[in-house]
Structure 1
Amino acid sequence: MTVLIYACLLFVGSHVLLSSTPLRERLARLFGESGFFGLYVIVALLTLGWMTVAFFDAPNVALWEDPLWGRGLLFLLMPLVCVLLVAGLTSKNPTMAAIGRLDPVENVPGIFRITRHPVMWALALWSGGHVLANGDKASLLFFGSFFTLSLAGPFLIERKKRAKGGPAWETFVAKTSILPFAAI
């Protein structure tokens, strides 16, 4: 279980350190934006891989008995998770690191009328549902890491975009919301 704890801490910590601290700007200047993004992806994949292997190797230590409604909850959540995830990944998403730029918009399109962070909400629903439904220590650590990152992520992204986004970002923010359906 110790290996899983370290892997989860490194996964979450590297995401925050590389995306939301002054280190990000230093590395981007050193390697260029494309080089930095490549480094970020490599670190994310390596830490995710380690975390996944550690999760499957961890002993099954029950914290609570699997609730009867757990599978039903996941069954209900997963279609919504898929819609949010696919819509967020296939739309020109100004909150994603690889896109980064927002063209001035009069009307906010599609999924962004619901939330400006659809991918983060998809991950929060997916991971939160799995924490509740599984009830074991390894799942709490593994899925809890995703849950923590997906709830903290929008606020870290907002801080960065607010500092660099300019008038187009302010217009986008005025017509959308972090919380789903709050701007409709």
Structure 2
Amino acid sequence: MLNLVIGLVIFFGLHSVHIFAPEWRARSMAKNGAVRWRMRFGLISLLAIASIVMGFMQARLAPVWLWNPPMWTHQIASLLVLVSFYFAAAALIPGTKLKSMVGHPFLLAIKLWAFAHLISNGTLADLVLFGGFLVWSIVSFAVARRRDRAAGVEKPEYIGVHMDLAAFVVCIVCWFAMVFFLHKMLIGVSPLI
């Protein structure tokens, strides 16, 4: 569990710099160069993710159950994850309607993904991991929206329905791959159970 907590603290700290210390980030990027900054950021992120995965897998060996979620929460979680995949695809594909309306759909995707996993899993490790991501994404979204409004940042332009359709196709393909193949292979648990 300690590795999980350490990894989460590093990951969230690192991914909160642009929100809570944007001036320091800009100075560091200017001083060291954007490429070097991104390389360090990526390396530390990978180490944090490795610590999170290792800690979560260790905690699953001796789970501490806080509640026993009913089976129907798995179906709700699958639907919420489908919607979160659409939000993530809409964030990555330029010119979608969702991105033009919300501004930060990837943070909404993380919120839905974390909430879906919280309602369908009941161990302490699940609460720490998914609860941590849920709290972080809620705070990050609120701060990012407030900062954008204060700075007068305009939301991205909507290009057209073809971009929404592209996001939908990416969403469906990724969701099917995750539900029917990758989740069992990577996590060891099928979401279809």
Tell me, yes or no, whether TM beats 0.5. yes
SS of residue in 2 equivalent to 1:172: coil
Corresponding residue number in structure 2 for 1:75 = 78
Confirm or deny that 1:134 pairs with 2:137.
no
How many Å separate the matches in 2 of 1:139 and 1:41?
25
Q: Is the 8 A contact 2:14 2:45 kept in 1?
A: yes
Corresponding residue number in structure 2 for 1:118 = 105
Corresponding residue number in structure 1 for 2:37 = 36
Amino acid at match of 1:87: A
Corresponding residue number in structure 2 for 1:152 = 139
SS of residue in 1 equivalent to 2:110: helix
SS of residue in 1 equivalent to 2:15: helix
Corresponding residue pairs, total: 154
Corresponding residue number in structure 2 for 1:48 = 49
Segment of structure 1 superposing worse, 65-74 or 134-143: 65-74
Summarize the Cα distance change of 1:83–1:33 in structure 2 as closer, same or farther, 3 Å threshold. same
Amino acid at match of 1:172: K
* Root-mean-square deviation (Å): 2.5
Q: CA deviation at 1:114?
A: 4.0
Q: If each structure's helix is expressed as a fraction of its own residues, which one has the higher value?
A: 2
Q: Is the 8 A contact 2:118 2:127 kept in 1?
A: yes
How many Å separate the matches in 2 of 1:13 and 1:39?
14
How many Å separate the matches in 2 of 1:172 and 1:55?
37
How many Å separate the matches in 1 of 2:101 and 2:81?
17
Amino acid at match of 1:10: I
Q: Is the 8 A contact 1:77 1:126 kept in 2?
A: yes
Q: Is the 8 A contact 2:18 2:25 kept in 1?
A: yes
Give the structure-2-normalised TM-score: 0.69
Amino acid at match of 2:71: L
Q: Is the 8 A contact 1:20 1:160 kept in 2?
A: no
How many Å separate the matches in 1 of 2:117 and 2:70?
11
SS of residue in 1 equivalent to 2:16: helix
How many Å separate the matches in 2 of 1:114 and 1:159?
15
Summarize the Cα distance change of 1:26–1:113 in structure 2 as closer, same or farther, 3 Å threshold. closer
Amino acid at match of 2:9: L
Identity %: 25
Confirm or deny that 1:172 pairs with 2:172.
no
SS of residue in 2 equivalent to 1:67: coil
Summarize the Cα distance change of 1:42–1:155 in structure 2 as closer, same or farther, 3 Å threshold. farther
Q: Which runs of 5+ in 1 are unaligned?
A: 93-108, 176-184
Q: Which runs of 5+ in 2 are unaligned?
A: 159-193
Segment of structure 1 superposing worse, 119-128 or 2-11: 2-11
Kindly provide the CA deviation profile for residues 122-157 of structure 1, in whole angstroms up to 9, marking residues without a partner as x.
Answer: 111011110121011001111122212221222333
Give the structure-1-normalised TM-score: 0.72
Segment of structure 1 superposing worse, 15-24 or 80-89: 15-24
